[in-house]
């Protein structure tokens, strides 16, 4: 009986160790520091080089696109961040003016944030309501 | 207006009746008073009537577009099609919680009617536990997220004034999709369904009736809830695929993870419960799994409703986080205390004997399903945990989840093939050879062919080889069983397959479910070979992707009361031959102030691959459309697998058909005898 229990213990341990290793390496590969725009600027030099997810509201009218990339600005004046989106996936439909965008990527030395993925949450995604608690009536 | 008052009144009454049901059940049990117990039961049924009334009122308010009610004004508009008006019931926080509560009372009513006579001693406890959960939801409906609140204008330093907007601000465009009409009900039926096994487990602990009864009832209910949850998750994936326009169906978003966690533990329970039935082992473990499945269902709701984690799908932040947190703490500590107190009644009757046995394969199955759940939990909660511990929010994304869960899934597929064919206690080397040599050789041969044909992605290759292995073991099980039966009974082969299945629905239904996962694995492995492209297409311009060519034929506009749209007509050619017209759209919904554009993707789907076309926008001069296209191999297999999963689960839920007594003798012994003879022959050779 003892030997059999040992076999189970060894089998389970191998699985657990293997999975822990995978979890650890997966974690190292994909860990991303989540920051708001002011927090990003507070990091100063440390902000360069590490993988970041920056969230901020899309500045109205800032979205432009050229042949390959899409550009927009997030944050609140005076602390705004220019984002250059270089990813392949289509931009989410929810990325509209004033929506909260989360850009994942790295901050370039030129101050432009190069993002390979963008997600955006409509300012009031499921609960369409103005700040006063009044549903927005249709403009007639 | 009357409907709102009636709904409001029904909610208040539901609260009183629910509370009464709990008190009556407890007092009835305490004083052994049958009348009180029966009254508690009737009150439980009454709760269902009350909440049903409330739901009908809410549906009616949507149907007549009564915008004096805030929830209606915020989630509907006059021009919304009527089926979306009805589905708006679960389109927002308040309504979806009411819907949830309604399903719970519905399940309760069903459970009470079905089991009252069969398990008379246990049922008052079951009722009590379910009604306690109900009380939690009814309290929330009444005091925190009441769907019948009036639309008001808030004023500084004065009481709010009632207000009726001219039109509602509309249902979120992303929810205006047929899959969003059915995905939430399925998901909720799954989540809520796990309350029933939990209630039975608690009742079994309280009454100390920890024998087979509760296990049998619980197992069936778990299967029902599990099926709905599986379907709910898959439909959620299908919705994301259709509606979000990024070409995939699973992104490890917290909302998705929240539904996956109870599913993983529920799946573990469905397997390990067999060990308890057959061998009287893992009794404590099984109760822990039932508790955790339920807790994870509630936790998942808490996660997505309270704004604890950032998610693109999450509901707006609201006050209900506290309610959920309190309920979670009470439910978890209460149930674990009860379990701890009853440990002496849960002694194991057997021990593991060999590492190569059915028991052991179930044990490893449980171990890695829980590991998967654990990984998903940590990945989802990491931002919260790291912020609490280190003060920085660290998020992890798809690579983390995939790195852990893909190998787990492949190992699970291996167990899916091996486990059901291993003998209980200890499998002999001979039986291993007999059962696995052929499938293993055929799977490896398939592997060689796949490699030669260009499948060099390790995990995809492994997944496909494992799938082949499992598919062969399953087909062979049906074949062997049916052939033996056909020989014994003189039925033809098809009859034999049907009768074989109907006489042991759990076993063969289970195989069908396993086969469903083989299909889904094939679909998932296709994800390793997706490609995509994009181009600005004017009239007549083309875009090539693999063997397909897209040609822009027409750029038009469409206008409906609900939305306006840019609509492209794209011809799809496969190796130069036209196969389809596709109509990707970019819609602008009219209701509300935000005017958020949404893409309606067009998908050409075959058994081999999907061509997924997104109208991403127009160029600045509006003369060209920005078209993105994804080539997704094998995606259809995922959805087809979902259909097979439902069929398999339904088979497993059927009661075993008994052979009529007259025929029983020959029918029962003949195939068995033949099998035995064959086994002997195999041993001799």
Residue among B70, B397, B594 minimizing CB distance to A122: B594
Question: pLDDT, tens digit, for every residue of B596-635?
Answer: 778 899 999 999 999 999 998 887 777 889 899 999 999 9
Per-residue tokens: B395: 């998020």
Residues A48 and A70 in one domain: yes
Q: Is A78 on the interface with B (CB under 8 A)?
A: no
Instruction: Tell me the H-state helices in B247-396.
Output: 254-279, 283-305, 320-341, 358-390
Is A128 within 8 Å of B172 when comparing Cβ atoms? yes
Distance CA B97, CA B299 (A): 14
E strands within B64-210? 152-155, 158-162
Distance CA B536, CA B306 (A): 41
Of B401, B340, B393, give the one whose Cα is nearest residue B372. Answer: B401
Residue A137 lies in a domain: no
Is B314 within 8 Å of A140 when comparing Cβ atoms? no
Question: How confident is the model at residue B444, as a pLDDT?
Answer: 96
Residues ≥6 apart with Cβ < 8 Å to B525: B459, B460, B463, B464, B467, B634
Residues A2 and A57 in one domain: no
Distance CA B474, CA B490 (A): 23
Residues B116/B41, Cβ–Cβ less than 8 Å? yes
Question: How confident is the model at residue B64, as a pLDDT?
Answer: 92
Distance CA B254, CA B263 (A): 14
Distance CA B493, CA B484 (A): 10
Of B103, B404, B370, B403, give the one whose Cα is nearest residue B261. Answer: B370
Q: Is A51 on the interface with B (CB under 8 A)?
A: no
Number of domains in chain A: 2
Q: Identify the residue among A138, A139, A140 best suited for mutation to test binding to B, counting B beta carbons within 10 A and taking the highest.
A: A138
Q: Is B75 on the interface with A (CB under 8 A)?
A: yes
Is A139 within 8 Å of B593 when comparing Cβ atoms? yes
Is B91 within 8 Å of A126 when comparing Cβ atoms? yes
Give the model's confidence band at A125: pLDDT under 50 very low, under 70 low, under 90 confident, else very high.
very low
Q: Is A91 on the interface with B (CB under 8 A)?
A: yes
Q: Identify the residue among A4, A6, A14, A23 best suited for mutation to test binding to B, counting B beta carbons within 10 A and taking the highest.
A: A23
Is B169 within 8 Å of A137 when comparing Cβ atoms? yes
Residue among A122, A127, A139 minimizing CB distance to B596: A122
Residue A138 lies in a domain: no
Closest-CA distance, A137 to chain B, in angstroms, reads 6
Q: Is B353 on the interface with A (CB under 8 A)?
A: yes
Question: How confident is the model at residue B411, as a pLDDT?
Answer: 94
CATH code for position A79: 2.40.50.140
Residue A133 lies in a domain: no
Residues A16 and A6 in one domain: yes
- Contact list in B for residue A16 (CB cut-off 8 A) is 367, 371
Which residue of B lies nearest to A17 if distances are taken between CA atoms?
B371
- Contact list in A for residue B249 (CB cut-off 8 A) is none
Of B61, B29, B21, give the one whose Cα is nearest residue B45. Answer: B21
Sheet holding A32-36, edge to edge: A64-65, A70-76, A79-85, A112-121, A100-107, A52-57, A32-36, B393-395
Give the model's confidence band at A126: pLDDT under 50 very low, under 70 low, under 90 confident, else very high.
very low
Is B396 within 8 Å of A136 when comparing Cβ atoms? no
Of B568, B625, B562, give the one whose Cα is nearest residue B595. Answer: B562
Per-residue tokens: B679: 């086994």
Is A27 within 8 Å of B396 when comparing Cβ atoms? yes
Range of the domain at A91: 32-121
Question: How confident is the model at residue A77, as a pLDDT?
Answer: 79
- Contact list in B for residue A25 (CB cut-off 8 A) is 403
Q: Identify the residue among A25, A67, A137 best suited for mutation to test binding to B, counting B beta carbons within 10 A and taking the highest.
A: A137
- Per the DSSP assignment, residues forming a β-bridge with A106 are A114
Is A18 within 8 Å of B74 when comparing Cβ atoms? no
Residues A1 and A36 in one domain: no
Question: How confident is the model at residue A49, as a pLDDT?
Answer: 78
Residues B296/B226, Cβ–Cβ less than 8 Å? no
Q: Is B168 on the interface with A (CB under 8 A)?
A: yes
Residues B300/B191, Cβ–Cβ less than 8 Å? yes
Is A135 within 8 Å of B166 when comparing Cβ atoms? no
Closest-CA distance, B73 to chain A, in angstroms, reads 6
Residues A109 and A48 in one domain: yes
Question: How confident is the model at residue B384, as a pLDDT?
Answer: 86
Residue among A26, A33, A53 minimizing CB distance to B399: A26
More confident residue, B416 or A91: B416
- Contact list in A for residue B74 (CB cut-off 8 A) is 127-129, 135
* Cis bond upstream, residue B647 (ω within 30): no
- Contact list in A for residue B616 (CB cut-off 8 A) is 90-91
Provide φ and ψ at B327, rounded to 5°: -65, -40
In chain A, which among 100-129 make CB contacts under 8 A with chain B?
Answer: 102, 104, 119-129
Distance CA B90, CA B85 (A): 10
Residue A37 lies in a domain: yes
Three-class DSSP category at A85: strand
Residue among B393, B396, B592 minimizing CB distance to A136: B592
Q: Is A36 on the interface with B (CB under 8 A)?
A: no
Which residue of A lies nearest to B591 if distances are taken between CA atoms?
A138
Residue among B74, B599, B628 minimizing CB distance to A129: B74
Q: Which residue stretches of chain B have pLDDT < 50?
A: 662-669, 685
Closest-CA distance, A86 to chain B, in angstroms, reads 13
Distance CA B495, CA B670 (A): 16
Q: Which residue has the tokens 């927009």?
A: A72
Question: What are the extents of the domains in chain B?
Answer: 1-176, 203-416, 529-637
Is B592 within 8 Å of A12 when comparing Cβ atoms? no
Which residue of B lies nearest to A118 if distances are taken between CA atoms?
B312
Which residue of A lies nearest to B351 if distances are taken between CA atoms?
A1
Distance CA B201, CA B207 (A): 10
Taken in order B14, B19, B22, B27, is the CA torsion positive or negative? Answer: negative
Beta carbons within 10 angstroms of residue B679's beta carbon? 13
Topology adopted by domain B529-637: Tick-borne Encephalitis virus Glycoprotein; domain 1 (2.60.98)
Q: Is A127 a residue whose pLDDT tops 80?
A: no
Of B544, B566, B661, B670, give the one whose Cα is nearest residue B616. Answer: B566
Q: Is B310 on the interface with A (CB under 8 A)?
A: yes
Closest-CA distance, A54 to chain B, in angstroms, reads 11
Residues A101 and A44 in one domain: yes
- B577-582 and A52-57 strand pairing: unpaired
């Amino acid at each position: 009986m003892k030997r059999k229990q040992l076999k189970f213990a060894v089998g389970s341990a191998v699985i657990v160790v293997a999975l822990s290793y995978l979890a650890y390496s997966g974690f190292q590969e994909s860990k991303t520091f989540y920051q708001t725009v002011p927090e990003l600027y507070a990091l100063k030099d440390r902000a360069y080089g590490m993988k970041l997810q920056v969230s901020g509201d899309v500045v109205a009218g800032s979205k432009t696109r050229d042949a390959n990339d899409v550009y927009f600005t997030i944050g609140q004046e005076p602390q705004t961040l220019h984002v250059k989106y270089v990813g392949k996936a289509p931009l989410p439909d929810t990325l509209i003016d004033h929506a909260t965008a989360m850009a994942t990527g790295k901050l370039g030395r030129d101050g432009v944030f190069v993002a390979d993925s963008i997600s955006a949450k409509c300012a009031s995604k499921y609960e369409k309501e103005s700040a006063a608690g009044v549903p927005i009536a249709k403009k007639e | 207006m009357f409907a709102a008052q009636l709904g409001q009144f029904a909610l208040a009454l539901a609260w009183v009746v629910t509370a009464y049901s709990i008190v009556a059940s407890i007092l009835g049990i305490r004083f052994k008073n049958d009348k009180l117990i029966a009254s508690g039961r009737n009150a439980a049924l009454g709760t269902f009537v009350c909440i049903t009334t409330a739901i009908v009122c809410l549906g009616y308010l949507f149907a007549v577009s009564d915008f004096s009610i805030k929830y209606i004004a915020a989630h509907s508009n006059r021009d919304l099609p009527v089926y979306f008006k009805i589905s708006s019931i679960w389109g927002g926080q308040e309504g979806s919680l009411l819907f949830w509560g309604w399903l719970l009372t519905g399940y309760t009513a069903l459970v009470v009617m079905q089991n009252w006579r069969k398990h008379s001693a246990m049922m008052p406890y079951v009722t009590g536990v379910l009604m306690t959960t109900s009380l939690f939801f009814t309290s929330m409906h009444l005091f925190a997220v009441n769907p019948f609140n009036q639309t008001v204008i808030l004023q500084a330093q004065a009481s709010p004034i009632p207000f009726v907007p001219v039109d509602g601000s509309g249902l979120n465009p992303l929810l205006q999709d047929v899959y969003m009409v059915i995905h939430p009900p399925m998901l909720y039926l799954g989540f809520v369904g796990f309350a029933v096994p939990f209630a039975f487990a608690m009742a079994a602990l309280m009454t100390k009736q920890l024998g087979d009864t509760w296990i049998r009832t619980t197992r069936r209910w778990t299967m029902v809830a599990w099926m709905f949850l599986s379907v709910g998750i898959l439909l959620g994936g299908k919705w994301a695929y259709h509606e979000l326009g990024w070409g995939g169906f699973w992104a490890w978003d917290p909302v998705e993870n929240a539904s996956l966690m109870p599913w993983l533990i529920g799946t573990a329970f469905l397997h390990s419960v067999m060990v308890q039935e057959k061998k009287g082992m893992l009794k404590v473990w099984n109760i822990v799994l039932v508790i955790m499945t339920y807790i994870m269902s509630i936790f998942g709701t808490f996660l997505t409703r309270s704004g604890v984690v950032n998610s693109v799908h999450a509901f707006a932040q609201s006050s209900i986080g506290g309610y959920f947190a309190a309920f979670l703490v009470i439910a978890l500590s209460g149930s674990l205390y009860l379990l701890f107190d009853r440990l002496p009644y849960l002694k194991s009757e057997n021990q593991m004997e060999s590492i190569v046995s059915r028991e052991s394969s179930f044990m490893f199955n449980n171990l890695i399903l829980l590991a998967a759940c654990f990984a998903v939990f940590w990945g989802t909660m990491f931002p919260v945990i790291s912020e609490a511990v280190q003060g920085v929010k660290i998020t992890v994304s798809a690579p983390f989840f995939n790195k852990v869960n893909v190998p787990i899934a492949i190992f699970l597929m291996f167990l899916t093939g091996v486990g059901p064919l291993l003998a209980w206690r200890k499998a002999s080397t001979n039986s291993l050879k007999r059962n696995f040599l052929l499938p293993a050789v055929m799977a490896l041969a398939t592997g060689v062919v796949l490699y030669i044909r260009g499948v060099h992605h390790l995990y995809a290759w492994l997944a496909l080889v494992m799938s082949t292995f499992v598919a062969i073991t399953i087909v062979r099980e049906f074949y062997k069983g049916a052939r033996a039966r056909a020989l014994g009974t003189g039925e033809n082969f098809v009859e034999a397959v049907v009768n074989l299945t109907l006489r042991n629905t759990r076993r063969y239904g289970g195989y069908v479910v396993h086969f469903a996962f083989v299909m889904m694995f094939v679909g998932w492995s296709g994800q390793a070979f997706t490609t995509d492209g994009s181009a600005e297409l004017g009239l007549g311009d083309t875009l090539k992707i693999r063997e397909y060519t897209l040609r822009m034929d027409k750029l038009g506009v469409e206008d409906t009361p609900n939305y306006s749209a840019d609509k492209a007509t794209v011809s799809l050619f496969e190796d130069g031959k036209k196969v389809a017209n596709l109509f990707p759209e970019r819609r602008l919904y009219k209701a509300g102030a935000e005017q958020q554009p949404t893409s309606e993707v067009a998908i050409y789907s075959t058994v081999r691959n999907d061509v997924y076309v997104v109208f991403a926008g127009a160029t600045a001069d509006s003369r060209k459309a920005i078209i993105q296209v994804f080539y997704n191999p094998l995606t259809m297999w995922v959805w087809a697998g979902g259909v097979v999963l439902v069929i398999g689960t339904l088979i497993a839920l059927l009661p075993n058909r008994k052979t009529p007594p007259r025929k029983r003798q020959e029918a029962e012994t003949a195939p068995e005898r033949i099998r035995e003879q064959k086994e002997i022959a195999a041993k001799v050779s």
